[in-house]
């Protein structure tokens, strides 16, 4: 669940594909949904997965989170209630962005 700075919430789900490489993670779905609705500023992202341990976002999602959300809190949890919190910069300490290419 992605929270916009105006309080709106955007959910996402994994959209899986037989070729795996074309699968889109829930994090990117939520971000793209919010962007398509005109949101450009975000306050936090919450990720819940049916896993033994809280699962942080994959590398592709980390890059998209950095580019579209910046250094926001990312809360990860599992269905057993185990929770961890990171910031985008913790998960992607050397991001590739506009500053990198200028």
DSSP string spanning 23-71?
A: -B-HHHHHHHHHHHTT---EEEEEEEESSSS--PPPHHHHHHHHHHH-S
Is 27 designated active site? yes
Name the nearest CA neighbour of 1 among 29, 22, 37, 41: 29
Model confidence, pTM: 0.92
Question: Does the pLDDT of residue 20 top 90, yes or no?
Answer: no
pLDDT (0 to 100) of residue 96: 87
Give me the residue label for tokens 């669940």. Answer: 1
Q: How confident is the model at residue 86 (pLDDT cuts 50, 70, 90)?
A: very high
Q: How far apart are CA 62 and CA 60, in angstroms?
A: 5
How much of the chain is in helix, strand and coil states, percent to nearest 5?
30, 25, 45
Pick the catalytic residue: 3, 16, 27, 67? 27
**Structural domains of the chain, with CATH:** 2-101 (3.40.140.10)
């Amino acid at each position: 669940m992605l929270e916009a700075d105006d309080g709106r919430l955007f959910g996402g789900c994994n959209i899986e594909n037989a070729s795996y490489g074309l699968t889109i993670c829930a994090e990117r779905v939520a971000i793209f949904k919010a962007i398509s609705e005109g949101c450009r500023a975000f306050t936090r992202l919450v990720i819940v997965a049916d896993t033994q341990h809280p699962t942080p976002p994959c590398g592709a999602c980390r890059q998209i989170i950095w580019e579209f959300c910046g250094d926001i809190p990312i809360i990860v949890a599992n269905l057993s209630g185990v929770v961890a919190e990171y910031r985008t910069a913790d998960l992607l300490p050397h991001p590739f962005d506009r500053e990198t290419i200028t």
